[in-house]
């Protein structure tokens, strides 16, 4: 029962009660009511979504409705939205008897998380000090979805081992930590991270892994019979994989600056992802008897190229640079599944259901490093003076920052993400160990019947 | 056999013949040929889709192609299109042996319905009295998809109990009724209903429920063995749920006016849907032994927030207002599944396969009420004078209408939708009772083998 | 063993070895490394994706970022991307035990093909003779996806009968042939083919069919037990069908000229597809005992309307014209499945797993013919003088071409596509017959266990 001293075992090791009939509705109601009150006090439409827009247009000399940010970002927003709910949701249906939990709890915590993220990110980024209001528009919705993505990554490590109430608590704290970490990285350090290699992936992955470490289940092998896939659950998971893969260019370009920034981010991500597919297939085949491919690799490591292009998405990394990043990620990520995941479970006592260390943590770190290097080597010749200012937002307080300094701050940002992930995960993991959250026994993990009415199962055990 | 006097039983109760080999092809061919002829006589491209567009641009001083309505609405159109075919289609795959019928018949009647809708709506809205032509563009395609949505909602109540020929007849009349009802509500009453809480959801739901009432099957319990889901059919249905949920902001904003209207509608719907997820999970858990969640609730009631934001989508309801709407809908809709559906089946003799009363009828009414109230309380301060005119289209004949009057007309519109739904449903239900349409016996419902070649079933009965 | 003389049987008929542990990784690594090198030497961002865009805007007097081609084409690009990976991928999951191979190999060859396509198409279309660079932007990404579509169509004929290494080889040559054929058709003949009825569908289908003919397996009946679907694999395939069907308007309009061109192409394709659904259901029902529908027809023939609108997508074919095209295609394609596929297998020794002759070849030819006729009959009255020039790109060297001549060149283009498909297929087929590629024995086809680690199968054989 967890990686802690034996002294606390007495308290923590009472027989488990998975009845969430009181706790789950209570948490849902209390938090939703809190959201309504806080939104009532703090949140209003921003000027582009407010009915005063026709006045704003006159004041700001905007001639066409098409200049409303909605038209620049809405298609990308919808793609990101699909990634959050169908992408992450179906990626987690791969277990033979935990598909309801995978897609259903993903739905629950994402729907809660995005509300809380609008508030937390709003307080840090969009609060008008005069009126005291947070003004939200389409970019806030995208950022809220991004923030939720961090928590869903963490969910990947915990899949099948925690109760929905624990997931709600994990999301509440995760979103809070994310908003602070994001503020430090983007505003104080002024690092660039449009697709969130650091802010989303490093943070989310280490947050989840640390929680998983604290919640270590020594007898998880008792659920071995359910800890795997069946034929059709692997096909369901491919729905998630493909929607993540296809829409990742939108993810990385969604909040880039208008024009060439969004355009370039989409191209880079498209190429990086394509390259990681080939190296994933190569390593997967190379590692198995008779060259047989493993669905777990195809479902996950093919996405590593998107994770690793998060930071440098809008940089002038050039098409071949993007291919190199994807090439490396596919290899690293697939090796992770082959070598690291079993090692971590056995030696480090980290049980990582979906292998988020391979899909998010390592490619995220790689992405952060690539971002730091490419930022430090940026030049006026490659970017044009105005392009350099646009890309790195060298304006206001940061007008005089050099690209080398920027590179150093990018590296620092990576450390911040790591610290928040590990520190936050340790804290939240301890909270989640209280025996009040309704999680299941070790021999009852990965089983939908604990939290769902399941009828008419159609597979052999 | 149905809720009618015993006198007509002799005629209506002959043994049933489910052979549709003549009737289905005949209906498909006749109606498709009719469409071609009518399109030949009536339908042409509108000026933004016609090759004369380069001349139009000069005449109307349009400087950029991006002002073509295509670029404002095409992304939303595609999202709506996905909702119609994948959203509604897969939502109806939840039955263990009726997945082909759910997604397949949905495909058939939507593909027919949208053609007929282009004509019917065209005659009412886009007919040029001079040339006698209907001019269609991207907005017509969206409206046709909307119109089809009404019939697909009605299909939800009938799922598994009717033949494809009956569905085609139901769609033919449904689209016709919809177009008239829509004309009365939007043009004569000048009510606002961008996302169709009233026009689409109230109409569609009561249309389907009334047909279901007329076609009451007293011995439907004989199909009990097939009237439920299996594990993987519930996962398939989640594909439908999630695509409906994710793209609902596009549905409600698709035909809003350009700029802040579309922007605000997307934000409101996004928030309302998020809130209804939490209350759905809460009530579902609260109502079951040991707090176990029910997939039927998660698949359906989570969407109620989108239905209820249909009318007020572009109003200045504020973010917290949208959350409150979603909060209430999730509760009402889930209670519907728990209490009302069994009650209606037992006492009112309404067999509602998908529970459209809970997902569309009640949230639709709630949405209509919210729309009427928020319209009646709109003010220049909140909307700005110009914003108020844009939002409620207080122009031409309606330039002098007050917001209070508008509220009253919104309420009247709700009654019109209700009357058309119930009245039309009664009429069409009677037509569908003729024993010529190839529907199945009571003990043969919910079974794909009646209308599909089914091989290699892979589940236990 | 194949349609060739008996003399070569000795060499080609050694017992087969399906171990791809060396060959598959080798091919993936070598080709990916080659891509990186070639991209390094040749590929850069185009001016709309380059950080110098802010300078470009000044030089070219572009006032708004929204004029960046990204905003005109990105939503369509994403839809096309979904068609390539989810559409084609899931369409090929219909076999009971080859779903991994269907969606997985589709993923692999598409991810490789798009990189090679960017290069090949770049050399022919986007190479700057001064700098020696290929400059890529969003339109190149769409064209690369299009090019890949041709190879995925060919994959449909070979599904279940070839090894992943053979597919990689097939894609390498397929993309190469495609780029040459496309250059001849679009640049030399100056034919119009925005949605690729000829360039993509005719070429891809005959390429695949010819390869299948060369690789004829006389004892394929030994895999009969696996050559069919089960209930849930048919539902998976419907995911592919519907995403192809819904996004086809984006496919055909993605690279049309801005404004009315894209708008009209979307409308035409939408209508054509709707009509082919009805005739497909009609013929499918008409042909079966008791009118039972066949899922194979619904999954495939409903798409024929999109294929056939490829060439004439942006022409002024009028809405009823589009309906007529769809009407015919649904009939022709469904008859193909009923009559031609068995005939071709028995008499012509062409084994066409997915029936691409019915879905792509015949509707493609029909589309080419429709395109030639409608081009030849175009007039200033219907198009307006400027519209005619825009639509057929009568500029530069082609400023004086008449519409009749254009019609003739359209017909010639069809022949070019056919010749490249058949000739290329014969050549590549011979290459693929070398016994080094790891394909399976005849009694082992359509089985995922040959190339995938498969656990926990949940269906009866």
Other Cβ atoms less than 10 A from the Cβ of B144: the count is: 27
Residue C381 burial by CB count (10 A; 0-12/13-18/19+): exposed, middle or buried?
exposed
Could you say which of C239, C260, C327 has the minimum Cβ distance to residue B36? C327
Residue B131 burial by CB count (10 A; 0-12/13-18/19+): exposed, middle or buried?
exposed
Structure tokens at A197: 């290699």
pLDDT in tens, C69-83: 999 999 999 999 999
The one-character DSSP state at A134 is: E
Q: How confident is the model at residue C126 (pLDDT cuts 50, 70, 90)?
A: confident
Interface mutation vs chain C, best among A250, A293, A325, most C CBs within 10 Å = A293
Q: How confident is the model at residue B426 (pLDDT cuts 50, 70, 90)?
A: very high
pLDDT of residue A457 exceeding 70, the answer is no
The residues, ordered by sequence, that sit 6+ positions from C406 with a Cβ below 8 Å of its Cβ are: C190, C191, C192, C375, C376, C378, C392
pLDDT of residue A9 exceeding 80, the answer is no
A74 CA to chain B: closest CA distance, Å?
8
CB contact under 8 A, B55 and C230: no
Residues facing C43 on adjacent strands = C134
Could you say which of C118, C453, C459 has the minimum Cβ distance to residue A294? C453
Q: Locate tokens 């149905």: which residue?
A: B2
Query: CB of B141 within 8 Å of any CB in chain C?
Result: yes
**Would you tell me which residues 354-413 of chain A have a C-beta closer than 8 angstroms to some C-beta of chain B?**
none
Q: How confident is the model at residue B460 (pLDDT cuts 50, 70, 90)?
A: very low
Query: CB of C342 within 8 Å of any CB in chain B?
Result: no
Cα separation values, A342 from A353, B205, B303, Å:
11, 53, 40
Q: Which helix H or strand E contains C347, and what residues bound it? A: helix C341-347
pLDDT of residue A14 exceeding 90, the answer is no
Q: How confident is the model at residue C403 (pLDDT cuts 50, 70, 90)?
A: very high
- What pLDDT sits at residue A458? 45
Task: Please spell the DSSP secondary structure of C361-384, one letter per residue.
Answer: IHHHHHHHHHHHHHHHT--HHHH-
pLDDT of residue C1 exceeding 60, the answer is no
| d(C-alpha C119, C-alpha C113), whole Å | 10
Residue A434 burial by CB count (10 A; 0-12/13-18/19+): exposed, middle or buried?
exposed
| d(C-alpha C285, C-alpha C291), whole Å | 4
Q: Which residues of B touch C80 (CB under 8 A)?
A: none
Structure tokens at C426: 């014969």
Q: Is A97:A8 a contact under the CB 8 Å cutoff?
A: no
| d(C-alpha A20, C-alpha A24), whole Å | 5
Selection from B310, B243, B224 nearest residue B82 by Cα: B243
B259 CA to chain C: closest CA distance, Å?
14
- What pLDDT sits at residue C8? 52
Q: Which residue has the higher pLDDT, A5 or A375?
A: A375
Q: Is C433:C12 a contact under the CB 8 Å cutoff?
A: yes
B376 CA to chain C: closest CA distance, Å?
37
pLDDT in tens, A114-128: 999 999 999 999 899
Range of weakest confidence among A6-10, B100-104, B405-409, C379-383: A6-10
* Radius of gyration of the CA atoms of chain C, in A: 22
- pLDDT, mean of residues A268-272: 96
| d(C-alpha A318, C-alpha A216), whole Å | 43
Q: Which chain A residue's Cα is nearest to C449?
A: A292
Q: How confident is the model at residue A460 (pLDDT cuts 50, 70, 90)?
A: very low
Spell out the SS3 assignment of A346-376: HHHCCCCCCCHHHHHHHHHHHHHHHHHHHHH
pLDDT of residue C4 exceeding 60, the answer is no
What is the residue-averaged pLDDT of chain A? 92
B290 CA to chain A: closest CA distance, Å?
5
- What pLDDT sits at residue A145? 96
pLDDT of residue C31 exceeding 90, the answer is yes
pLDDT of residue C360 exceeding 90, the answer is yes
Interface mutation vs chain A, best among C111, C254, C447, most A CBs within 10 Å = C111
A275 CA to chain B: closest CA distance, Å?
28
* Radius of gyration of the CA atoms of chain A, in A: 22
Does residue B254 sit in helix, strand or coil? Answer: coil
- pLDDT, mean of residues B41-51: 95
Query: CB of B323 within 8 Å of any CB in chain A?
Result: yes
pLDDT of residue B123 exceeding 60, the answer is yes
pLDDT of residue B204 exceeding 80, the answer is yes
Query: CB of B68 within 8 Å of any CB in chain C?
Result: yes
Range of weakest confidence among A12-26, A230-244, B28-42, B82-96: A12-26
Q: Is A438:A25 a contact under the CB 8 Å cutoff?
A: no
The one-character DSSP state at B129 is: T
- pLDDT, mean of residues A204-232: 93
The one-character DSSP state at C127 is: B
The tally of CA atoms less than 13 A away on the side-chain side of residue A105 is 34
Could you say which of B247, B278, B323 has the minimum Cβ distance to residue A78? B247
| d(C-alpha A446, C-alpha A165), whole Å | 16
What is the residue-averaged pLDDT of chain B? 92
Q: Which residues of A touch C44 (CB under 8 A)?
A: 318-319
Q: How confident is the model at residue A459 (pLDDT cuts 50, 70, 90)?
A: very low
Q: Which residues of B touch A75 (CB under 8 A)?
A: 75
Q: Which residues of A touch C99 (CB under 8 A)?
A: 231-232, 235
| d(C-alpha C233, C-alpha C222), whole Å | 21
B327 CA to chain C: closest CA distance, Å?
32
The residues, ordered by sequence, that sit 6+ positions from B265 with a Cβ below 8 Å of its Cβ are: B194, B195, B249, B252, B253, B256, B309, B313, B314
Q: How confident is the model at residue A461 (pLDDT cuts 50, 70, 90)?
A: very low
- pLDDT, mean of residues B329-335: 96
The one-character DSSP state at B452 is: B
Structure tokens at C55: 């300078």
CB contact under 8 A, A281 and C28: yes
Q: Which residues of B touch C381 (CB under 8 A)?
A: none
The tally of CA atoms less than 13 A away on the side-chain side of residue B250 is 30
pLDDT of residue B401 exceeding 70, the answer is yes
The one-character DSSP state at B3 is: S
Q: Which residues of B touch C285 (CB under 8 A)?
A: 20-21, 24-25, 28
| d(C-alpha B263, C-alpha A54), whole Å | 13
Query: CB of B239 within 8 Å of any CB in chain A?
Result: yes
| d(C-alpha A279, C-alpha A284), whole Å | 8
- What pLDDT sits at residue B435? 85
- What pLDDT sits at residue C11? 55
Could you say which of B231, B290, B391 has the minimum Cβ distance to residue A458? B231
Can you give the pTM of this predicted structure? 0.95
Does residue C135 sit in helix, strand or coil? Answer: strand
CB contact under 8 A, B24 and C290: no
pLDDT in tens, C205-234: 999 999 999 999 999 988 888 888 999 999
pLDDT in tens, C150-209: 999 999 999 999 999 999 999 999 999 999 999 999 999 999 999 999 999 999 999 999
Torsion sign over Cα B279, B280, B281, B284: positive
The one-character DSSP state at B127 is: B
Query: CB of C430 within 8 Å of any CB in chain B?
Result: no
Query: CB of A55 within 8 Å of any CB in chain B?
Result: yes
Q: Which chain C residue's Cα is nearest to B454?
A: C231
pLDDT in tens, A63-85: 889 999 999 999 999 999 999 99
Q: Is A304:A330 a contact under the CB 8 Å cutoff?
A: yes
CB contact under 8 A, A292 and C51: no
Query: CB of C443 within 8 Å of any CB in chain B?
Result: no
Which chains sit next to A, with 3 or more Cβ pairs under 8 A? B, C
Selection from B100, B112, B106 nearest residue B33 by Cα: B112
- What ipTM is given for this predicted complex? 0.94
Query: CB of A63 within 8 Å of any CB in chain B?
Result: no
Question: A127 φ, ψ to 5°?
Answer: -80, 125
Query: How far does chain B reach from its first CA to its final CA, in angstroms?
Result: 27
Q: Which residues of A touch B390 (CB under 8 A)?
A: 51, 54
A120 CA to chain B: closest CA distance, Å?
15
Range of weakest confidence among B10-14, B126-130, B295-299: B10-14
pLDDT in tens, C240-281: 999 999 999 999 999 998 999 999 999 999 999 999 999 999
What is the residue-averaged pLDDT of chain C? 92
pLDDT in tens, C81-97: 999 999 999 999 999 99
| d(C-alpha A382, C-alpha B449), whole Å | 65
- What pLDDT sits at residue A1? 42
| d(C-alpha C144, C-alpha C146), whole Å | 5
Question: A152 φ, ψ to 5°?
Answer: -70, -35
Torsion sign over Cα A59, A60, A61, A64: negative
pLDDT of residue B5 exceeding 70, the answer is no
CB contact under 8 A, B391 and A51: yes
Selection from B347, B244, B363 nearest residue B355 by Cα: B363
- What pLDDT sits at residue B457? 53
The one-character DSSP state at B324 is: H
Query: CB of C457 within 8 Å of any CB in chain B?
Result: no
Q: Which residues of B touch C249 (CB under 8 A)?
A: 78
Query: CB of C75 within 8 Å of any CB in chain A?
Result: yes
Could you say which of A246, A275, A291 has the minimum Cβ distance to residue C20? A291
Q: Which helix H or strand E contains C44, and what residues bound it? A: strand C43-45
Q: Which residues of A touch C454 (CB under 8 A)?
A: 231
Q: Which helix H or strand E contains C310, and what residues bound it? A: none
| d(C-alpha A365, C-alpha A201), whole Å | 8
């Amino acid at each position: 029962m967890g990686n802690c001293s034996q002294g606390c075992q007495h308290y923590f090791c009472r027989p488990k009660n998975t009845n969430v009939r009181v706790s789950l509705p209570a948490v849902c109601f209390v938090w939703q009511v809190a959201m309504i009150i806080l939104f009532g006090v703090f949140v209003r439409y921003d000027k582009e979504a407010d009915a005063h827009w026709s006045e704003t247009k006159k004041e700001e000399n905007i001639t066409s409705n098409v200049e409303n940010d909605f038209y620049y970002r809405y298609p990308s927003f919808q793609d990101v939205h699909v990634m959050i709910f169908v992408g992450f949701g179906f990626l987690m249906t791969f277990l033979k008897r935990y598909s309801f939990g995978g897609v259903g709890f993903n739905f629950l915590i994402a729907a809660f998380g995005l509300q809380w993220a609008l508030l937390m990110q709003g307080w840090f980024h969009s609060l008008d000090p005069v009126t005291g209001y947070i003004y939200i528009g389409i970019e806030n919705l995208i950022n809220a979805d991004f923030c939720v993505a961090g928590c869903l990554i963490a969910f990947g490590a915990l899949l099948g081992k925690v109760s929905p109430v624990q997931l709600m608590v994990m999301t509440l704290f995760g979103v809070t930590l994310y908003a602070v970490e994001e503020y430090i990285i983007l505003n104080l350090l002024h690092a660039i991270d449009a697709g969130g290699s650091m802010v989303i992936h490093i943070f989310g992955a280490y947050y989840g892994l640390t929680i998983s470490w604290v919640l270590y289940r020594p007898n998880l092998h008792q659920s071995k019979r359910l800890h795997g896939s069946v034929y059709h659950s692997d096909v369901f998971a491919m729905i998630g994989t493909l929607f993540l893969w296809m829409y990742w260019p939108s993810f990385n370009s969604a909040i880039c600056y208008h024009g060439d920034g969004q355009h370039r981010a989409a191209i880079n991500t498209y190429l990086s992802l394509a390259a990681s597919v080939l190296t994933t297939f190569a390593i997967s085949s190379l590692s198995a008897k008779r060259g047989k491919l493993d669905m777990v690799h195809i479902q996950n490591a093919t996405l590593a190229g998107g994770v690793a292009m998060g930071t440098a998405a809008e940089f002038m990394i050039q098409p071949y640079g993007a291919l190199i990043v994807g090439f490396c990620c596919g290899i690293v990520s697939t090796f992770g599944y082959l070598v690291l995941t079993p090692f971590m479970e056995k030696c480090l006592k980290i049980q990582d259901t979906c292998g988020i260390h391979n899909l998010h943590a390592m490619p995220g770190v790689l992405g952060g490093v690539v971002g730091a290097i490419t930022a430090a080597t940026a030049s006026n010749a490659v970017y044009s003076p105005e392009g350099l200012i646009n890309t790195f937002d060298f304006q206001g307080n940061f007008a005089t920052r050099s690209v080398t300094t920027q590179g150093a701050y990018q590296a620092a940002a990576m450390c911040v993400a790591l610290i928040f992930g590990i520190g936050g995960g340790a804290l939240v993991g301890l909270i989640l160990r209280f025996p009040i959250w309704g999680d299941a026994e070790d021999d009852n993990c990965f089983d939908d019947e604990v939290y769902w009415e399941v009828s008419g199962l159609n597979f052999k055990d």
